[in-house]
Amino acid sequence: MIKVNGINKRYLKKDGRGNRVEINALKDVDYDLSAEGIYAIVGESGSGKSTLAKVLTGVEVCDSGDLFWNDTRMVSASFFNDKEIRRNVHLVLQNSKDALNPKMSIYDCIAEPIRNLCKLDKSTEYQRVESLIKMVELDEKVLIKRAHELSGGELKRVNIARAIATNPQLIVFDEATSGLDVIVKKKILDLLKRIQEKNACRMLFITHDIEVALYMSKDIAVMQKGKIVERVQNVSCLSDFRVAYSKLLIDAMPVFGMSVTQVESATYKSVG
């Protein structure tokens, strides 16, 4: 459905001495999403994963390379402003509180993409928002509140509701669960799995947390320094990852790095 070929993205950043340094956020990256399902890209900070997410959703324009939407080549700049594509591609930002206008009610926030991209009358719009809020398992009371009155988990759900408002074919999540407590995190991830099944859309998780990637997806790409170093399309076990860097990331997870005696004593049930 969406495909990028050999895209490059550079930007200028100032270093400690005030000199401008060119940073290669993306170097010759190929990536594609075709079938419905959940995809994941893992990388540490500075690996260019967020930039890739932004290029895929059109928020940022890449310097060179091709972008295909349903096999038609798109001009990067117009990609973002195309209403059809805006309706079908959504990016959920990392900071869910900051992603909501503090002066707007939650209802207005969720209704925003509907108003801009689908022409609905007031009452259908209201019904749509109501059904969305039910879908993300929130109470209707939150609709009249402002962002600062909600908890972290609720804010995330509001962001998800806004993302699925126009029934997009692709939703990209930039660090979907950062800043959430472990219990809430799992609930949100499970909710997203359910939504994906119901809406039959594509979800792409951009994350630094390899556990999230393994939990959510069978198609995992690993990024390092602006390049995709490895992509495993059908992960069944950890040994599917062969590149040294991927192994390093997996190794850094405490659960797999623990000493033998501790492993023996810790027997918890597998959810993955």
Minimum CB distance to another protein smaller for 14 or for 71: 14
Instruction: Please identify, using beta-carbon distances, which residue of 20 and 242 lies nearer to another protein.
Output: 20
39, 173 Cβ separation under 8 angstroms: no
Question: Minimum distance from CB of 184 to another protein (Å)?
Answer: 8
Q: Counting every residue, how long is the chain?
A: 272
Comparing CB distances to another protein, the nearer of 71 and 239 is 239
- The CB-of-65 to another protein minimum distance in angstroms stands at 18
Which residues sit at the interface with another protein, rule CB under 8 A?
13-20, 44-45, 57, 59, 61, 80, 83, 86-87, 90-91, 93-95, 98-104, 112-113, 116-117, 159, 162, 181-183, 185-186, 189, 208, 210-212, 214-215, 237-238, 248-249, 251-258, 262-263, 265-272
* Smallest gap from residue 16 Cβ to another protein (A): 4
Q: How far is CA 123 from CA 2, 105, 111, in A?
A: 34, 17, 12
Closest approach, Cβ 227 to another protein, in A, equals 16
Helix (H) or strand (E) run with residue 230 in it: strand 227-232
Q: What is the C-alpha separation between 15 and 29, in angstroms, rounded?
A: 25
- Report which secondary-structure segment, H or E, holds 31: strand 20-33
The CA-atom distances, in angstroms, between 76 and each of 4, 17, 73, 130, 169 are 11, 34, 9, 35, 19
Query: Which CB sits closer to another protein, 4 or 96?
Result: 96
